[in-house]
Chain A
């Protein structure tokens, strides 16, 4: 849940990168950390396990500066994608204000994407939130692998699988090269701040 300090005119919100294991959530944050130095307000913390998999979460604080007379700070998190870390995923999702769902474009990961989206919906529901109402953006990651002849799903296929009902903004991405990373985050922040404006009327 965003923290709004009326006196200091500060708002702090939470954006979570969600998606199946190895889809590129941490890579998204790493790219943001290395490329948006002006906005980054602290170290990126990653708690990894064997094979460089996220164990608990990654955390990166960023600042957007003054927006409509308010100092806006954002905490970016990733969840552990592996199925066995279900309870940690739920903990990290608590108090979320906006979500980036990172889907893996590899054909072989089609089912994992759908299961992860379903898991997101279930976890949001447990916090009394609807996936249809929470600020949400999709990123179809790993598009660069097509150049190497790896079978990828078409964007149409991914839209049909994941975004047919949600109809949220979606972006093609390659978190390794940074393609689409900024655009995805920017759109998610826009939706999140708009949603918080409806709730808190924070903008002057």
Chain B
């Protein structure tokens, strides 16, 4: 191929890559063309050709910058947000409240924090999912604005009367966990009062190191198998579906019919043998019961909400 044809072919290739949106590849080809042109001493229109290519490269650089700096999570139209809620709610639950919670969480996962927060705040009125809604509100603040915002929100809840003390304590424990993982300390008042707080502080500290991962890096756990060391199922492993997960805390809704199963599982109970089933793998570890709450109202009235924190894997 003679040199002119070579230049022409290289430029044509660059132009096609540019039209395909392959910025890096187009850039490399234009640079290659510049090299070829510079290697020829007596090329006609050499300067104008080089100038034209330089302009093309400049334009590519601008496009690249726009792509790099483009928002990763822009606010979408309501229609698009509705679609996300509709398409990314995977629960086959007929429970409207649970579905609404999943929809709001889906919005948050796609970075639609404003609407997610609005919907989650609305769900605080529902007793059965209040704690999960609150946890996700805190997560939204942490992801979209700041830790301070999450702390302020907790203080507001603490000074209000929306939450039952045990519910707010669960939320507090959750927030404290996240803050600790980020190396932060906040003096979050406990809703359980000083006596309960003191009693809590003398509880044995979990002797297993907290996982090093950041809160967002926990695997999705779909179910867990607990091997009971007492009660009617002593020595046997019973599998429970995970209804919600916030970082390393898993929430299970357990039917009132299975009350005997979880009779011995009170807040603070250590679970030494737990199998965690995640889509990526099954792994063994330990957990601790953070809270056990009986649902007072709604379709799951009488059932139990058990929060378990993973303490080692």
A residues neighboring B (CB under 8 Å): 1, 3, 21-22, 45, 47, 49-53, 55-56, 59, 75, 84-85, 88, 91, 94-95, 106, 108-109, 125-129, 142, 145, 148-151
Of B41-49, B71-79, B283-291, the stretch lying at the interface with chain A is: B71-79
Report yes or no: A50 in contact with B25, Cβ–Cβ below 8 A: no
Interface residues of B in 10-65 (CB under 8 A from A): 12-13, 16-17, 20-22, 25, 28, 63
A85 in contact with B72 given A51-B67, A149-B12 (CB within 8 Å): yes
The 6 closest A-B pairs by CB, nearest first: A50-B70, A127-B279, A128-B279, A126-B280, A50-B66, A108-B25
A109 in contact with B90 given A53-B67, A150-B13 (CB within 8 Å): no
Report yes or no: A126 in contact with B25, Cβ–Cβ below 8 A: no
Report yes or no: B110 in contact with A53, Cβ–Cβ below 8 A: no
Report yes or no: A51 in contact with B63, Cβ–Cβ below 8 A: yes
8 Å CB contact of A45 from B72, B83, B92: B83
User: Which chain B residues lie closer than 8 Å to A84 at the CB level?
Assistant: 72
Report yes or no: B16 in contact with A45, Cβ–Cβ below 8 A: no
**How many A-B residue pairs lie within 8 Å, measured between CB atoms?**
75
B residues neighboring A (CB under 8 Å): 9, 12-13, 16-17, 20-22, 25, 28, 63, 66-67, 70-72, 74, 76, 80, 83-84, 87-88, 90, 92, 109-110, 219-220, 278-280
In the bound complex, how far is the Cα of B92 from the Cα of A84, in angstroms?
A: 31
User: Which chain A residues lie closer than 8 Å to B279 at the CB level?
Assistant: 125-129
User: Which chain B residues lie closer than 8 Å to A47 at the CB level?
Assistant: 76, 80
A145 in contact with B83 given A52-B21, A56-B110, A108-B25 (CB within 8 Å): no
Determine the residue in chain B with the shortest Cβ distance to A128. Answer: B279
User: Which chain A residues lie closer than 8 Å to B70 at the CB level?
Assistant: 49-51, 53
Determine the residue in chain A with the shortest Cβ distance to B112. Answer: A56
User: Which chain B residues lie closer than 8 Å to A52 at the CB level?
Assistant: 21
Report yes or no: A53 in contact with B21, Cβ–Cβ below 8 A: yes
Report yes or no: A59 in contact with B87, Cβ–Cβ below 8 A: yes
A145 in contact with B16 given A22-B21, A128-B279 (CB within 8 Å): yes
Determine the residue in chain A with the shortest Cβ distance to B17. Answer: A108
In the bound complex, how far is the Cα of B67 from the Cα of A22, in angstroms?
A: 13
8 Å CB contact of A88 from B12, B110, B278: B110
User: Which chain B residues lie closer than 8 Å to A95 at the CB level?
Assistant: 90
In the bound complex, how far is the Cα of B71 from the Cα of A95, in angstroms?
A: 27
In the bound complex, how far is the Cα of B22 from the Cα of A55, in angstroms?
A: 16
Report yes or no: B21 in contact with A49, Cβ–Cβ below 8 A: no
8 Å CB contact of B21 from A3, A51, A127, A145: A51
8 Å CB contact of B280 from A45, A88, A91, A128: A128
